[in-house]
Amino acid sequence: MKPAPFEYVAPRSIDEAVTALARGGSEAKVLAGGQSLIPLLNFRLARPTLLVDLNRIPELAHITPRNGGVGIGAMTRQVTVERNADLGRSQPLLKDAIGWVGHAAIRSRGTIGGSLAHADPAAELPAVAVCLDARMRAVSPRGSREIASEAFFQGYLTTVLEPDEILVETWLPALQPNTGQAWLEFARRHGDFALVGVAASITLRRELVQDARIVLTGVGGKPVRVREAETLLVGGTVEDRVGAAADAARTAIEPEADIHASKEYRAHLAGVLTDRAVRLAYERAATVPGAALDTRRTLEAGQRRA
Ligand SMILES: Cc1cc2nc3c(=O)[nH]c(=O)nc-3n(C[C@H](O)[C@H](O)[C@H](O)COP(=O)(O)OP(=O)(O)OC[C@H]3O[C@@H](n4cnc5c(N)ncnc54)[C@H](O)[C@@H]3O)c2cc1C
């Protein structure tokens, strides 16, 4: 099938885009990489009357270190992030996860902002954003506002963005000292959406967990932060607490069954992947330059035992 007819505009600046989108009202949509929107148009599951193409707005595609962290423009291609060596060092969770987004051809057109605004419940980047406590900036005729990532995602394919708002940038805070991060997921075939994915970030103080963030994808309508598991880890060693934390992740969620997996299988995957991701994040935290020597010794002793 081909899309229902629509009007098309390709503004050259954010201001022009905001004006055009406002003119289109609730029936207008922005076009980013088109990797999710174009199939929806072709199947006529979406029938916007106006498409506002963001591809000719250079100010939306950038990677800018700022306030200790980094701002990533909404139209930055996923492949640009994947290949950026500085981001690879400064944002290891993002680097871990981005290669799991579809296939190379998808990532060469797909954008960071498009993935976040589309809010697919099995996507990688929304879970990464919540795990990193990212902040989104959106603009509309009413001005600009910043939105915390946990508040940004509302449910299945739904964010807090109003129809006349454009996501312009996502800001990621700097990696804290003695922090390790990991993304793990399980999909039926390479390039498929994850059945379950997990983002883990572990900050150590000597060998004890000082801070933990664990966010799952594929187990609910939006990224699911498993606070029960985080709380269990904090104050103990990973070796002692990771089993209980993984159990907590498995039982705290209420995944849905679909043609790809039963809810029991998804819950099982959530537990297994949480266990592995927390251990991997811990290993990385313990081996970052400057990690406490006793932490490294604990890790090495554990590896000798294994
Ligand atoms: C075969 C295939 C496999 C895929 N596998 C995966 C996968 O494993 N993991 C994964 O995460 N994704 C996957 N995707 C989706 C891919 O990551 C898309 O790139 C992404 O979901 C949408 O990004 P986009 O730039 O293409 O946005 P578009 O398709 O252009 O837009 C998507 C939606 O977001 C809105 N939007 C886009 N940008 C903005 C903005 N700046 N402000 C406000 N609204 C905006 C659009 O109006 C539209 O509603 C896959 C896609 C395909 C076709």
pLDDT tens-digit series, residues 154-200:
999 999 999 999 999 999 999 999 999 999 999 998 889 999 999 99
CATH code of 179-305, in short, is 3.30.390.50
Atom of ligand 1 nearest to the CA of 110: 19
**92 CA to centre of ligand 1 in angstroms:** 22
In the CATH hierarchy, which fold is given to the domain comprising 7-53? 3.30.43
pTM over 0.75: yes
pLDDT tens-digit series, residues 45-103:
999 999 999 999 999 999 999 999 999 999 999 999 999 999 999 999 999 999 999 99
Q: Choose which residue among 45, 115, 125, 161 to substitute to test ligand 1 binding: the one with the highest number of ligand atoms within 8 A of its C-beta.
A: 115
CATH code of 58-172, in short, is 3.30.465.10
Backbone angles phi, psi at 127, to 5 degrees: -65, -40
**How high is the mean pLDDT of the chain?**
94
User: In terms of Cα–Cα distance, which of 119, 125, 112, 127 is closest to 156?
Assistant: 119
Q: What is the pLDDT of residue 298?
A: 54
DSSP character string of 203-245: EEETTEEEEEEEEEESSSSS-EE-HHHHHHHTTS-HHHHHHHH
**106 CA to centre of ligand 1 in angstroms:** 9
Q: What is the pLDDT of residue 190?
A: 84
All CATH 3.30.465.10 domain ranges in the chain, comma separated: 58-172
All CATH 3.30.43.10 domain ranges in the chain, comma separated: 7-53
